């Protein structure tokens, strides 16, 4: 027999079992990220294995890398949560997805595992990819859009005619918050830098405030809902612009309950919960042309360190989401 025609199952199995992943073995700066050959994981109960086409990079990834996660993060770990890709295997108990489905979402409750060629994901945190978006575009959406949705509609219950002030409106969460609040027929007031005012107007904001030139509390009052995406003294100053009975919602940092009580308003801090339900609704809105994704820069997976320097502000980048392209 010609040995060149003989099957080589062991070699094929070994090749199929490996993948590239961006890992950390200790918490620290971006330079601690390494691209490694690791074993391809297998999905367990309620999980799927996804071939990652693109992974979004967000501030929470940098917090995890630096050791500032609110959740325990056993080392070593693969960074990343936002992703878009193709289902290649489903674990026990997964009923709503099948091999070959194009999906997007977040990996798991710890927000890890997406910066890789393959990722095991919690099926309940995934949905069908918006048909109108590429994988790179879809990977920019899940966590930031779900955060904006939950701040407005699940925490604050924003509705028609309400006056909504959104801080950090040109940011990735803020851009969705402006669009969603406008779709809810609220009167949207947004703070941003001078360079971003036209961009925010284009998202649908009724009023825009250059926060460097004008103190927002001198420009607006009688606000029903403040969505705080900045924190710090901006959050503290925001209590003064709320009408009695109004609400301040933050996805950035806990709020001062005593200060809220003195102003006669409600204050809520929340952590995003990415679910199939949220993602499906957002995908429908995107495909209907009601929501627009905003990509800032696309980098290859091998340049995850650069992405994290951008997240930390030590390297400049355009406005919009940073995405790592994995497939292709």
Under 8 Å between Cβ of 97 and 108: no
224-274 tens-digit pLDDT: 999 999 999 999 999 999 999 999 999 999 999 999 999 999 999 999 999
The model's pLDDT over 26-47, given as tens digits with 9 standing for 90+, comes to: 999 999 999 999 999 999 999 9
Q: Give the tens place of pLDDT for each residue, 188-202.
A: 999 999 999 999 999
Q: How far does Cα 140 stand from its chain's mean position?
A: 7
pLDDT surpasses 50 at 8: no
Tokens of 239: 């209590």
- CATH H-level superfamily of 3-141+293-325: Medium-chain alcohol dehydrogenases, catalytic domain (3.90.180.10)
Cα–chain-centroid distance for residue 165? 21
Nearest Cα neighbor of 130 from 101, 100, 103 is 103
Cis peptide, bond prior to residue 146, ω within 30 of zero: no
Confidence of residue 328 (pLDDT cuts 50, 70, 90): low
Residue 225, strand partner residues: 164, 247
> What is the spatial distance between Cα 156 and Cα 229, in angstroms, rounded to a whole number?
14
Architecture of domain 144-269: 3-Layer(aba) Sandwich (3.40)
What are the residue ranges spanned by the domains of the chain? Answer: 3-141+293-325, 144-269
Asked whether the beta carbons of 306 and 317 are under 8 A apart, the reply is: no
Q: Whole-model pTM?
A: 0.92
């Amino acid at each position: 027999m010609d040995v060149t025609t003989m099957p080589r199952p062991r070699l094929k199995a070994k090749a199929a079992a490996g993948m590239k992943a961006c890992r950390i073995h200790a918490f620290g700066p971006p330079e601690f990220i390494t691209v490694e050959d690791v074993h391809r994981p297998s999905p367990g109960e309620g999980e799927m294995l996804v071939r990652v086409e693109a992974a979004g990079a967000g501030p929470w990834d940098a917090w995890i890398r630096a050791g500032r996660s609110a959740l325990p993060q056993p080392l070593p770990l693969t960074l990343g949560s936002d992703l878009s890709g193709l289902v290649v295997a489903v674990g026990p108990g997964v009923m709503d997805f099948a091999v070959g489905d194009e999906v997007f979402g977040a990996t798991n409750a710890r927000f890890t595992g997406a910066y890789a060629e393959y990722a095991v994901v919690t099926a309940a945190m995934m949905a069908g990819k918006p048909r109108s978006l590429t994988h790179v575009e879809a990977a920019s959406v899940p966590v930031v859009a779900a955060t904006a949705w939950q701040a407005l509609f699940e925490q604050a219950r924003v509705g028609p005619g309400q006056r909504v002030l959104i801080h950090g409106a040109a940011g990735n969460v803020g851009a969705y918050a402006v669009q969603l609040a406008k779709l809810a027929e609220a009167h949207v007031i947004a703070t941003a830098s001078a360079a971003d005012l036209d961009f925010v107007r284009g998202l649908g904001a009724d009023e825009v405030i250059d926060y460097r030139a004008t103190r927002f509390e001198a420009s607006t009052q009688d606000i029903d809902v403040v969505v705080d995406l900045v924190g710090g003294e901006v959050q503290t100053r925001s209590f003064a612009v709320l009408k009695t009975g109004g609400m301040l919602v933050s996805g950035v940092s806990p709020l001062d309950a005593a200060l809220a009580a003195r102003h006669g308003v409600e204050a809520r801090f929340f952590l995003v919960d990415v679910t199939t339900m949220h993602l499906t609704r957002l995908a429908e809105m995107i495909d209907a042309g009601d929501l627009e994704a905003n990509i800032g820069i696309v980098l290859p997976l091998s340049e995850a360190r650069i992405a994290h320097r951008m997240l930390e502000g030590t390297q400049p980048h355009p406005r919009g989401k940073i995405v790592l392209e994995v497939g292709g």
